[in-house]
Amino acid sequence: PSIPCPSLLPSIHASIHPSIHPFHPSIHPPSIIPSIPSIPIHPSIPGTLSPSWKRFGKNNVILSDIRKPADNVFYSGPFIFADILDYKNLREIVVNNRITWLFHYSALLSAVGEANVPLARAVNITGMLHNVLDIAAEHNLRLFVPSTIGAFGPTSPRDPTPDLCIQRPRTIYGVSKVHAELMGEYYHYRYGLDFRCLRYPGIISADSQPGGGTTDYAVQIFHDAIKTGKFKCYLRPDTRLPMMYIDDCLKATLEIMEAPAEALTMRTYNISAMSFTPEELAQEVQKYVPELEMSYNVDQVRQAIADSWPMNFDDSNARRDWGWKHDYDLAELVTTMFSYLGSDSRIAQAN
């Protein structure tokens, strides 16, 4: 059973890493007056906030971080301190802000996690399971946790990868995500926690710098193409991985959280938009930067990770259950990235 949202003002605490961005949909409980959420987001990344600001108003979006905020963050709206490893601090945030929805994004990414397994275990597992799940269950919260293509391993079917299959990842990042998926599902059936989860593909955004993930080449290529006209990729040119533009990621996150509980047939869904290789992405980028010089220097650690991940996601259950539909394909992704990164002159030259 799922937990209905109360008719009081609901809130969210979201804890995120720089490559993934949370947003909170409107909550419409069975009440005459619709609810207006107050949303703590951690760490604060202002470029990701426009959809929630437009939808709920800046005063209902609370930024949070463990670091001193930049001026553009601090003056953009309410700001609070939040540490995902501090259980008492998280409980105070939930109580003081009357939180009813919680988005938990804090994680070390795949390659970074392999370089610091103890920290990845603390952030990805202790922060998630010993803190967030217990707080969500204690305070009857609706909880969203993102998962990833990294939740699969070399024995998983890769083309396509279904929602339900053998996973057995070989990175601490992937292991922690499978742990979160299973614990969230267990808390749902054991305690009635309204747990919802999406397996994100590689997320591409112009708002943030690459953060140590295996798919981050697909962001770095745009920055390097504009700055130097050269890009050296750490994956083989034929390495196919599922990808998604950030706007589709946010759209899917909103939709899964807004979906009626009775429409959901599972707690964790794959979502997909496109799948491409570094070579295919480079060919599309060269339509806008014809002089781009593409080279390859394979990082064996990241290549091994990529080779264990899905090549394509089967997201038919998400499309059937709650109407998921992506908006961006590869061509639209590349056009949008260059537009946001200020490459108008190069686009004009290419045209």
Element (H, E) at 87: helix 87-96
DSSP string, 103-151: EEE----HHHHHH-HHHHHIIIIIIIIIIIIHHHHHTT-EEEEEEEGGG
Residues forming a β-bridge with 41? 14, 63
Environment class of residue 308 by beta-carbon count within 10 Å: exposed (0-12), middle (13-18) or buried (19+)?
buried
Cα–Cα distances in angstroms (integers) from residue 15 to residues 61, 123, 132, 200, 283, in the given order: 13, 11, 10, 16, 36
Identify how many contiguous H helices and E strands the chain contains and give both numbers.
14, 13
Q: Which of 173, 217, 245, 328 is catalytic?
A: 173
**296 tagged catalytic:** no
Structure tokens, 42: 């951690």
Residues forming a β-bridge with 39? 61
Element (H, E) at 175: helix 172-191
Q: How far apart are CA 148 and CA 176, in angstroms?
A: 10
The single residue listed with the structure tokens 């994956």 is: 235
- Backbone φ and ψ for 16, nearest 5 degrees, come out as -130, 160
Q: How far apart are CA 93 and CA 87, in angstroms?
A: 10
Bond before 160 cis per omega within 30 degrees: yes
Q: Are 285 and 334 in contact (CB under 8 A)?
A: yes
Catalytic site positions: 173
